[in-house]
Amino acid sequence: MNRLPQFVAAGEALTDLLRSGPAAWSSQAGGSAWNVARVVAKLGIPSAFAGAVSRDVFGAELAAATSAAGLDPRFLQQVERAPLLAVVHELEPPRYFFIGDDSADLHFDAAQLPRGWQRAARWVHFGGISLAREPLAGKLLALAAELKAQGAAISYDPNFRAMMDERYDATLQRMAALADVIKVSDADLRGLFRLAPDADAQACSSALAGLRKLNPAATILYTLGQQGARLLRHGHAWHAPAPRVSVTDSIGAGDASIGALLFSLMQYPMREDGAHLRFAVAAGAAACTAAGASPPSLAQVESLLVAAHLPEAG
């Protein structure tokens, strides 16, 4: 394999431990950045996940799944450290806590990535808990700034978790300023801007406006669950409803949406913005039809667009 990938997602890959019953658990490979890389690869753009995993059984499963997803294996680093685990104790909506002190993900070394990869990458994605865990967060922030200066497009999905308290504010501001595309959900806004649990739609709208002020030029994908999503771009706003599907769970739906949007922007730059949004929303809905974070195929997304009587993105 000599050709370097056009798309790279940098951050965490981990193992999800999913509660499957009152006293039953199952495990599945996951991680926000890793999921986004798999989505873009599944849709058809050569991609890689840049991050570090353990050398134990969990790391071996992640390495095997990375290969099975068609991601460039040269970007995955395996180190002699403990695995990062996400305990998903509620599935709908997903609720998590993390286990991983001095775990493998924190020991990622960008200097070990393939020579010339930065020139080859058209788009690099950041986000998830990797930007809230030092020393990895500092490494990724520096890498994002370097890539931006070299002309790469940057996307950012904060993917809010409880560890992202006021100490994360500077990271939010810095990454939002660097990003060409920002993906955020209603839950993200409530957490990042520390809104009350019963905050109304107006409060979320004000938080979204606050996010936009951090980088008025950025495209924002604002996901709304069953209500679809909004796209704020070039001074305009679009809304797309979510296609009706039989939901297994919503794990990975947000990752599928942002991955599909990035695929659409890269592969079809001349599409009108509403078509980009419809494609992203259809991908998020398709991801909900399978258990865990399951990247949808291009055929699945296009089929949903047809079934929902939405114009196909083409």
The pLDDT score that the predictor gives to residue 253 is 85
pLDDT in tens, 246-300: 776 667 788 999 999 999 999 999 989 999 999 999 999 888 777 667 888 898 8
**Cα(222)–Cα(218) distance, rounded to whole angstroms?**
12
Question: Domain range holding 270?
Answer: 7-307
The pLDDT score that the predictor gives to residue 313 is 47
Domain count, the chain: 1
Residues 6+ apart with CB under 8 A from 217: none
What does the mean pLDDT of the chain come to?
90
Q: Nearest CA to 43 among 310, 283, 298, 308?
A: 298
What average pLDDT does the segment 30-46 reach? 95
The pLDDT score that the predictor gives to residue 6 is 96
Let me know if residue 232 belongs to a domain. yes
pLDDT in tens, 176-191: 999 999 999 988 999 9
Let me know if residue 1 belongs to a domain. no
Let me know if residue 16 belongs to a domain. yes
CB contact at 8 A, 124 and 6: no
Let me know if residue 2 belongs to a domain. no
Let me know if residue 314 belongs to a domain. no
The pLDDT score that the predictor gives to residue 93 is 67
Let me know if residue 313 belongs to a domain. no
pLDDT band with cut points at 50, 70 and 90 for residue 19: confident
Domain containing 114 — which CATH number? Answer: 3.40.1190.20
Let me know if residue 129 belongs to a domain. yes
The widest CA-to-CA distance across the chain, in whole angstroms, is 52
pLDDT band with cut points at 50, 70 and 90 for residue 311: low
CB contact at 8 A, 104 and 78: yes
The pLDDT score that the predictor gives to residue 91 is 66
Per mean pLDDT, which range of 5-9, 24-28, 182-186 is the poorest? 24-28
What average pLDDT does the segment 195-214 reach? 87
Residues 6+ apart with CB under 8 A from 73: 1, 63, 66, 67
CB contact at 8 A, 130 and 163: no
The pLDDT score that the predictor gives to residue 252 is 76
The pLDDT score that the predictor gives to residue 18 is 80
Let me know if residue 312 belongs to a domain. no
Q: For the chain, give the percent of residues with pLDDT over 90.
A: 65
Model confidence at 229: pLDDT above 80: yes
pLDDT in tens, 106-138: 999 999 999 999 999 999 999 999 999 999 999
Distances (CA, A) of 269 to 84, 189, 219, 262, 314: 36, 28, 14, 10, 11
Model confidence at 20: pLDDT above 80: no
pLDDT in tens, 63-100: 999 999 999 999 999 999 999 998 877 766 667 788 98
pLDDT band with cut points at 50, 70 and 90 for residue 314: very low
The pLDDT score that the predictor gives to residue 292 is 65
